Amino acid sequence: MRIISKEGDEIILLALHGEEVSKGDYLIIEDVECRRRLLVQVYDEEYHNTQSLLEDIIRDEVVNAASKCNQYDPLQIGNIARIVRDARLLRCKIRASVEDDRLGHAVSWLPSRVSSRLRRVDMRELNSFIHGKSVANAATESQKVHPIKIGYSMDGEPVTIYAEDLDGRLNLITGKKGSGKSHLAKSIVKSLVEYGAYIFILDLNNEYLGIAWRHDGGKSSIGDKVLFLEPGRGLRFTLEYIGKGAVANMLKYALDMPAASLREFFRVWDALASRNRLGISNLMESVANWRVNELVKDALTSRLHTMLTSGLFADGNGIRVEDMIRERHDGAVIVIGMGRVPPVVRRMTVELLLSKLVELLEQGKIPPIFLFAEEAHLYLRDTYWEDIVTRMRHFGIFTTFITNQPDAISDSIYRQLDNIFLFNFTNENDLEKIARASMVDAESVKSIVRTLPAKHCMVIGSVVNNLPLVIRTAQQEVLMLGETKRFFNNKVSV
């Protein structure tokens, strides 16, 4: 391989047949004379085309088509011509400089075309760059001791990230349907809870219960740490416990209650609370007898009826989040299964849970938690999420969004992302949205992601030390529910 040219942060290399390099691979460019090294990543490849080369190819094809005899070529000029025609141009992005085996940012120098040596970087060496200390923060970087195996490199070498790089971070797992998003999310969840983390999962397909079981039907290594709750069944709150603030957020954001009706609701709530009679049935009765404008009363009555039929509220026994966590000393996965509830109950559940979690975290009643929002595009609106994302590190709630619709996520959330796990996209609008929002250049994202096979993803962000990495996700022992159900797979031929 040889350097052809450099423009900005892009270097173009010439590669001949036999020099096998693929999209996503990393190369080291070492300038022997000045003893400097650059780390570059291949993001695209193309044939080396010139007008004269194109004319030669056409001429040879015409001659071969017209000639019926073998051509005599004692000097093997034809072999040389074929090598030239197979020459490729590798388009590479400069990712960092390498100084004393540490990553640096001094990339303003130009490597020599003549004396530079190029070689491919294997996964073992790349791991030392990703998880080693960089030149800029060598003295301050904390030690990482909780590895998470998320897959393999294209050469079959294990790829590991660290839980410390997910702690306190905002993450996105996205790709088109069937690409392997939930599979990766379950792998990360399993490893986090094994290290004692507390995880809440908003599960819209009731598929995360499978992480409690192995493929052979036995309990998985985290089986005793998985708790599955469904709204209206295991997940029910008393009004006194959930609080007026959480109910107000639910009425405003999930049920679109007008401001005038919300004010009257607070008056009814306060009147019942002062007499220690707070309950969903008492709320219904009080609103029915409340002297207020009929339009306001109708708005209150319809929302309260929705609250009653949702099953989320109990006049008697309800769950307490802090008690669930207190009973599990070494980590837990609390799965909120919303696969069998209507969309409006889904939104109500999300708003209530978020409000209560933030309240408990602010009061120091529960430890920091990880929140996985599956199919986030179905309930991620300009509501309470904005506040969660903006102040998440102060609350202690660290979110991972999982979606196949990247345009459903606002730009304000994209700007705060720390890590992106990006599976295949072919839709131009989706690619454009991700490319503009990601932490790497748009050219790399568009070129690499468009050609990713299923179960392969591009990892971007702090988990890979801002060195974009293409991986194949790993298989797990746990039962991976959520696969596409097919009609013809169940048909028996006769």
pLDDT at 136: 46
In a domain? residue 137: no
Q: Residue 290 belongs to what domain range? A: 243-303
Average pLDDT over every residue of 268-294 = 87
- Do 161 and 223 lie in a common domain? yes
Is the model's pLDDT at 138 over the cut of 50? Answer: no
Domain ends where: 104, 131, 158?
131
- Do 258 and 361 lie in a common domain? no
More confident residue, 219 or 460: 460
3-state secondary structure of 299: helix
- DSSP label at residue 143: P
H or E, element range at 291 = none
pLDDT at 79: 63
- Do 338 and 467 lie in a common domain? yes
Is the model's pLDDT at 61 over the cut of 90? Answer: no
What CA–CA distance (Å, rounded) separates 191 from 331? Answer: 11
Is the model's pLDDT at 147 over the cut of 60? Answer: yes
- Do 364 and 249 lie in a common domain? no
- Do 253 and 290 lie in a common domain? yes
- Do 119 and 92 lie in a common domain? yes
In a domain? residue 479: yes
The total of structural domains in the chain comes to 3
H or E, element range at 38 = strand 36-47
More confident residue, 268 or 108: 268
Can you give the pTM of this predicted structure? 0.86
pLDDT at 20: 82
pLDDT at 144: 78
- Do 440 and 394 lie in a common domain? yes
Average pLDDT over every residue of 422-426 = 88
* Structure confidence by residue, pLDDT tens digits, 30-58: 988 878 889 999 999 888 777 666 767 77
- Do 429 and 389 lie in a common domain? yes
- Do 426 and 298 lie in a common domain? no
Residue 125 belongs to a domain with what CATH number? 2.40.10.170
Tell me how far apart the terminal alpha carbons of the chain are, to the nearest angstrom. 58
- Do 218 and 327 lie in a common domain? yes
Q: Could you tell me the two tokens for 237?
A: 């709150």
In a domain? residue 208: yes
3-state secondary structure of 421: strand
- At residue 72 the predicted structure's pLDDT band, cuts being 50, 70 and 90, is low
- Please report where in the chains the tokens 């640096």 appear, as a residue: 104
pLDDT at 140: 41
Is the model's pLDDT at 28 over the cut of 90? Answer: yes
Q: Residue 175 carries which side chain, given as an amino acid letter?
A: G
- At residue 135 the predicted structure's pLDDT band, cuts being 50, 70 and 90, is very low
- Do 374 and 261 lie in a common domain? no
Q: How many CB atoms lie within 10 A of CB 466?
A: 15
What CA–CA distance (Å, rounded) separates 246 from 369? Answer: 19
